[in-house]
Amino acid sequence: MSAELIKAHRLSGPMMAALHNASTDNGRVTGRTGTLVALITRGLITTATAATGREHLLTELGAEVLSGLLGTTVTTPAPVAADLPMPRGIIEPGARVRVPLGRAVVTEVDDDYVSMRFDGGAEGSIAADSLHIYRLCIVCDQVGDASMPGDGRTCGYCLATAEDDAARAADADPAPAAPTEEGASREIMIGGPFAGPALVVRADQVRDDDLIMAAFPAGTTVDAAISGREIPHATPVLAAPAAFDVGCWCGACKEYAHRCTAPAVVLARTTPWGTCAVVSAGDPVAVRRPVSVTTDRGPVSDWWVITTRAGAEVARVQAADYAAVTRAAEQLPEVTAVSRREGGYSVRRLFAAEAATPGCRPAHAAHPDVRAALEALTNLRLARLQDDTETHRTADEIDASVTGLMVEPRGRGRVAAYWMVEGMHTTPEGEAHRAQLDIIRAKFREAGWAVELGSLTCVFAWRPDRTDAELRATEAASYAQMRKEINASRCVHGRAPAEEVYGAPAAACARKEPTQRVGVFGDDGCLYIADCAVEAAMEAVSLTEAEHDGPEYPAAAPPYVWHVLCPIHEDQEQRADACEYCLA
């Protein structure tokens, strides 16, 4: 009999599993969307609407088929109306729902369509009578179950958890809570997309620029407004309190004037759902208020940190207020990914002491060139910097705690990398941190970056993902800049090289060992040896000018060049960087 039923109704394994659920759940059928659609098309289940949303129930044919599969008699539940649209109180503007394309916030509802904005920022719509739209629990952001209370906003699990927490709190402290004074506020933890602390105040105590994070069910008093009972807004509303206007033609004001007699207050006239935010003056509201300029922990910054619900940092955003943070965060792909994965994210304003970012100033933290440079310069200590951190040795205030790598953008793929020691990128005498800069140059080259020659106190480098034309222009600019910057400095012997010299002799004087000497090379080998690299470089220029009348050779490849000699094999005229004996 079972095999005949399976063949007659073309039942798959998931379909039979979904039907089996009805035998233990009072005729309710649960399963994947595609499975439910297949059962509906076969006439085995139907749909009904309730206060909790849409349910799928056995039909008479479905009960007959399930009875044959189980070998027992299965009855259908009470008659229900099929294919009704979701109740307006359940799918309403501002509600979070799940549809086949993902999670979204409802922006508009009419008789035909439900319009929504997805977590990724895209806009979309779905038929109002669709079988594939589900209201999400405001606490856990999961699809609500059949145990959701009459308002259809909290699933049975979260409601039971909140009741258990309240019961445990009452057992631990049976004394009644002191009434909240008018105008007073207290802090609770709220759920939803912007989980975190919020202040509970009376609606008539909401201030300008407060962010309205959540409301509470009708009839809730300020003293009874506890965590788990709030109804979070999918998007915070910037408060602009105003007197209630009976002449306002928005749907919210008309409905309030028709059914309520208590004094009302308009919290904001501009909201994501398109109507005024009007509530009774004594109703509780959860808000977040702008942080004062100074607190017990010092001054606050205009930087905000975006974190996961577990507290892991995702990104940092510079903004004046919470609303601006939300707009900026929604443009970041990493924040969007967290929002999709966890159903939301947390935001916290940073104190000035916390606003320092590793490896660069906060204003440069999101710059693509800086990010790429920090990825290339791995395993280096990163200096923690603020926007106003001074790094020059002549600065009025130097932060001695700043030590490590600092990267600054220079535009068009070019960056400058500094090594900071006790707040300065040079020694107190103005000398460069040569060893650290050499390591930075080597790491840039290993990552494929083009490193400019000639800079003494930092490293200039160009991103590798540039065109050949840009690379040639960079090399030409690098050579010209090298001649301009290096030739203007003096070597350790007090000599200043002329513009015509090749390479960076002043820097070579500073880097070579005191016992090392420098030779001038031509086609016939080493022709001249000196203790000073600048002296050798000038001799190379003299030999070149004596042999050539004018610049008949490439600027980057003169016929006479200078090189630091190998300290061991100087007599054999071997260069320090290419000694045939040392490398053998």
pLDDT given at position 374: 92
Average of per-residue pLDDT across 187-197: 73
pLDDT given at position 443: 92
Instruction: Answer whether 201's CB lies under 8 Å from 352's CB.
Output: no
Residue 578 lies in a domain: no
Residue 501 lies in a domain: no
pLDDT given at position 378: 86
Render pLDDT for 72-82 as a digit per residue (tens, 0 to 9).
Answer: 777 666 544 44
pTM (2 d.p.)? 0.31
Residue 541 lies in a domain: yes
Is residue 436 domain-shared with residue 512, that is, in the same domain?
no
Render pLDDT for 543-577 as a digit per residue (tens, 0 to 9).
Answer: 887 776 554 544 445 678 888 998 888 888 888 87
Is residue 463 domain-shared with residue 421, that is, in the same domain?
yes
Is residue 428 domain-shared with residue 457, that is, in the same domain?
yes
Is residue 276 domain-shared with residue 298, that is, in the same domain?
no
Residue 166 lies in a domain: no
Residue 170 lies in a domain: no
Is residue 366 domain-shared with residue 476, that is, in the same domain?
yes
pLDDT given at position 551: 47
Strand order of the sheet with strand 284-288?
Answer: 186-190, 196-202, 284-288, 211-215, 231-238
| Number of structural domains found in the chain | 5
Q: Is the model's pLDDT at 296 over the cut of 70?
A: no
Torsion sign, CA atoms 330, 334, 339, 344: negative
pLDDT given at position 457: 83
Q: In the Cβ-directed half-sphere of 438, how many Cα atoms lie within 13 Å?
A: 6
Gap between the Cα atoms of 211 and 233, Å rounded: 10
How far does Cα 156 stand from its chain's mean position? 32
pLDDT given at position 85: 42
Residue 39 lies in a domain: yes
Is residue 334 domain-shared with residue 214, that is, in the same domain?
no
Is residue 242 domain-shared with residue 346, that is, in the same domain?
no
Average of per-residue pLDDT across 424-437: 83
Is residue 190 domain-shared with residue 255, that is, in the same domain?
yes
More confident residue, 447 or 39: 447
Is residue 6 domain-shared with residue 109, that is, in the same domain?
yes
pLDDT given at position 24: 65
Residue 502 lies in a domain: no
pLDDT given at position 373: 92
Name the least confident of 40-44, 56-60, 68-72, 353-357: 353-357
Average of per-residue pLDDT across 237-244: 84
Name the least confident of 9-18, 156-165, 340-349: 156-165
Average of per-residue pLDDT across 499-506: 74
pLDDT band at 58 (very low <50, low <70, confident <90, very high): confident
Name the β-bridge partners of 569.
none
Residues spanned by the domain of 212? 185-288
Q: Which two tokens stand for residue 202?
A: 């009376």
Render pLDDT for 101-143 as a digit per residue (tens, 0 to 9).
Answer: 888 888 888 878 888 888 777 888 888 877 778 777 766 767 6
Q: Which two tokens stand for residue 560?
A: 């006479």
Closest C-alpha among 416, 318, 300 to residue 363: 318
Is residue 111 domain-shared with residue 206, that is, in the same domain?
no
Average pLDDT value over all residues in the chain: 75
State the helix-helix crossing angle for 33-41 and 13-22, rounded to 10 degrees.
80
Q: Residue 61 sits in a domain of what CATH number?
A: 2.30.30.60
Q: If you write DSSP's letter for every residue of 278-295 in order, what string do you get?
A: EEETTSEEEEE-PPPSEE
Grouping H, G, I as helix, E, B as strand and the rest as coil, residue 474 is: helix
Is residue 274 domain-shared with residue 320, that is, in the same domain?
no
Is residue 512 domain-shared with residue 536, that is, in the same domain?
yes
pLDDT band at 171 (very low <50, low <70, confident <90, very high): very low
pLDDT given at position 71: 72
Q: Which two tokens stand for residue 519?
A: 């030779």
Q: Is the model's pLDDT at 157 over the cut of 80?
A: no
Q: Is the model's pLDDT at 203 over the cut of 80?
A: yes
Instruction: Answer whether 138's CB lies under 8 Å from 192's CB.
Output: yes
Final residue belonging to a domain, choices 119, 135, 151: 135
Render pLDDT for 477-493 as a digit per residue (tens, 0 to 9).
Answer: 555 555 555 555 567 77
pLDDT band at 174 (very low <50, low <70, confident <90, very high): very low
Residue 335 lies in a domain: yes
Residues above pLDDT 90, as percent of the chain: 5
